[in-house]
Structure 1
Amino acid sequence: MNSIAIVGASSQIAKDLILSFARNGRTDLLLYVRNLPAATSWMEANGLSGACSLYTYDQYGQLPHDAVLNFVGVGDPRRAAEMGASIFGITSQFDDLILAGLDRHPQRRYIFLSSGAAYGNSFAAPVGETTEARIAINQIAPQDYYATAKLHAEVRHRSQPDLPIVDLRVFNYFSRTQDVEARFFITDIIRAVRDGQLLQTSADYMVRDFLHPEDFYQMVSRILAAPPRNCAVDCYSREAVDKPTLLEAMRQRFGLRFESASASLKVGVNATGAKPHYYSLSRKAAEFGYLPRYSSLEGVLTEAAALLG
């Protein structure tokens, strides 16, 4: 793989991946962003000036590359809620751009950052290979927009089976570079620890699978190194973690104070619907040679320690 383009290179998960590539000696990356000055400052702060090449979105397609990773989108539930239906246009705009390039260069690899949300409202239990995506077609609500946009993109990709496209479904991801002001359950925990505040959380039981940056890098690298395929792959850690275990571990390790109220207590921002078991039992990634190093709890504790200092 001689050259890799990353579209949406200013997203948190993309920046973590860029740093992982650099630590492993790979800096021949073509990075495409909307805000060039901000991205330039980030590259300088991380010692990447003169290594990776930086461009604006409208320059994509002008330089040859062997693979493209599409990170364009929104990772913060609060921003997803604010964007509403515009998520459809943003998703399709950049997908169209990249697919047009694949029409001219059908050997080019394409990794699309999808989401576990593409399964729709299917999380009363963990999803798997036989799970069907479920959306209330006659009662579509704003929290369905994000999931539907991802599902629509995936269906487009499967409709072109001769193209080497892998949709990588991320369920939960956490790293030391996380924007702690984002409205995720894990960032609510981090802010409570940082600020010495009492975390108010509902008594709802839930299970999450947090992917560590090193395991995400491993998964991407395995997919790029493997023979080309057209498929979707669910991300997973070595082991998921439930809410009581995570809260207790954060209490013991960092002194988190928390209070569980009734299940009806509204906390946080739920932009994509309730997901009590938001993780996958699919292990298709193992077919690419992926073997996660970190469990969810190990990954969270490791990255939280670095983030909180």
Structure 2
Amino acid sequence: MTSSQAPRAPFGGSVALLGASSALARDLTLSLAAAGAASLQLYVRDIAGSERWLREHHLLDRCALYTYADYGSVPHDAVINFIGAGDPQRVAGMGDAIFDVTRHYDDMVLDGLRRHPQRRYIFMSSGAVYGHSFQLPADTTTPATFPVNALAPQDFYAIAKLVAECRHRALPQLDITDLRVFNYFSRTQDLSARFFICDILRAIRDSATLRTSPDAMRRDFLHPQDFYQMIECVLAAPPGNRVLDCHTLEPVDKLELLEAMQARFGLKYEVAGAAAVVNSTGAKPHYYSLRRDAAKLGYAPEWTSLDGVLSEAAALLSVIPA
């Protein structure tokens, strides 16, 4: 982590968060509330569950809760759309429903933008939009590649996000930023999710031995503070229609991560054979991006992937009962 970055004034307008009960949205809610400038509107399905969460974090007086049916009735300056499955297991189980869900809530936001073109829209996209092209990391020239004659359910999530991005680029007059998140990790991570990092943490928690394949894997785990910084950079930037790839100071290799988790937390692991991993969007040896367009908006990440994972894992594991 570095600390050379000059402080940035937080966004002071009203922000609507769709899918506000997701882990990523909740982490951002905590960051925005801590900054203290924005007025927050949280749109969720489960009002009671979200009220409990807000009460636990002493935020009931800082955030207004609404159902999705209320969206459009309350003015706001910016909207961030977190709707979508994050857990690979859930992505795999949604099948073609991911298209309808993504389109429905995107349409809802776009209808509001057409009526209020000064409104800012941040759409949570994914690095998966690049398709099956991660033998090398993505860069400015990387094309999206999909097996168009043999599409499988694992392609649907990526294509749904790509279609949304295409629709957004077709509306250049509207202020829309698509943020491609590759990997994200925080102390609030649900350890039941089928991510490799969760497999590691469950093994540590349960004093079990993690069994993993020898396949090469390099990942870029975004830290909550850098995600918040990215959001603030977009909200502070001049209006525009753009797409940005999220990134850290440096990605991390699988073996480097395993060795660090062993040294820090006593992880036991074996590298042999093939592991049972849920590849909801396909196998990706180098799932991260070299695009640095966000730097033009002032984004300067403070965390490497490894430092971020070690810091957040320490906080997460400290609250798990022995």
Same fold (TM over 0.5): yes
Q: In structure 2, the residue corresponding to 1:147 is in which secondary structure?
A: helix
What is the rounded CA distance, in whole Å, between the counterparts of 2:192 and 2:266 in structure 1? 20
Q: C-alpha displacement at 1:23, in angstroms? A: 1.2
**AA paired with 1:60?**
Y
| 1:76 paired residue number | 87
1:51 maps to which of 62, 81, 94: 62
| 1:38 paired residue number | 49
Contact 1:237 1:293 in 2 (8 A): yes
**AA paired with 2:173?**
D
Matched, 1:308 2:317: yes
| 2:276 paired residue number | 267
| 1:284 paired residue number | 293
Q: C-alpha displacement at 1:27, in angstroms? A: 5.2
Matched, 1:118 2:129: yes
CA RMSD of aligned residues (A): 0.7
Q: C-alpha displacement at 1:269, in angstroms? A: 1.1
Matched, 1:197 2:179: no
TM-score for the superposition, normalised by structure 1: 0.98
Contact 2:211 2:275 in 1 (8 A): no
Contact 1:27 1:52 in 2 (8 A): no
**AA paired with 1:41?**
R
**AA paired with 1:37?**
A
Question: Which runs of structure 2 are paired with 1:128-143 in the superposition (5 Å)?
Answer: 128-143=139-154
Q: C-alpha displacement at 1:26, in angstroms? A: 3.4
Instruction: Among all aligned residue pairs of Structure 1 and Structure 2, give the percentage whose two residues are the same amino acid.
Output: 59
What is the rounded CA distance, in whole Å, between the counterparts of 1:193 and 1:246 in structure 2? 13
Question: Which runs of structure 2 are paired with 1:214-293 in the superposition (5 Å)?
Answer: 214-262=225-273, 265-293=274-302
Q: C-alpha displacement at 1:22, in angstroms? A: 1.1
What is the rounded CA distance, in whole Å, between the counterparts of 2:186 and 2:38 in structure 1? 21
Q: C-alpha displacement at 1:86, in angstroms? A: 0.4
What is the rounded CA distance, in whole Å, between the counterparts of 1:73 and 1:57 in structure 2? 14
Measured against aligned partners, the alpha-carbon deviations of 1:277-301 in whole angstroms (never above 9, x if no partner) come to: 0000000010110000000000000
Matched, 1:85 2:96: yes
Q: In structure 2, the residue corresponding to 1:217 is in which secondary structure?
A: helix
Q: C-alpha displacement at 1:65, in angstroms? A: 0.5
Measured against aligned partners, the alpha-carbon deviations of 1:22-53 in whole angstroms (never above 9, x if no partner) come to: 11113510110011111111000110012110
| 2:40 paired residue number | 29
Question: Which runs of structure 2 are paired with 1:100-179 in the superposition (5 Å)?
Answer: 100-179=111-190
What is the rounded CA distance, in whole Å, between the counterparts of 1:74 and 1:9 in structure 2? 13
**AA paired with 1:53?**
A
Which of 148-157 and 24-33 deviates more?
24-33
Measured against aligned partners, the alpha-carbon deviations of 1:180-228 in whole angstroms (never above 9, x if no partner) come to: 1100000000000011000011110110000000000000001000101
Q: C-alpha displacement at 1:268, in angstroms? A: 2.2
Query: Which segments of 5 or more consecutive residues in structure 2 lack a partner in the other structure?
Result: 1-11
Matched, 1:294 2:303: yes
Please list every run of at least 4 consecutive aligned residues from structure 1 whose deviation after the TM superposition is greater than 3 angstroms: none
Contact 2:13 2:38 in 1 (8 A): no
Contact 2:39 2:62 in 1 (8 A): yes
What is the rounded CA distance, in whole Å, between the counterparts of 2:164 and 2:38 in structure 1? 29
1:5 maps to which of 16, 23, 48: 16
What is the rounded CA distance, in whole Å, between the counterparts of 2:73 and 2:49 in structure 1? 22
Contact 2:72 2:112 in 1 (8 A): yes
Q: How many residues align?
A: 307
Contact 1:27 1:51 in 2 (8 A): no
Q: In structure 2, the residue corresponding to 1:18 is in which secondary structure?
A: helix
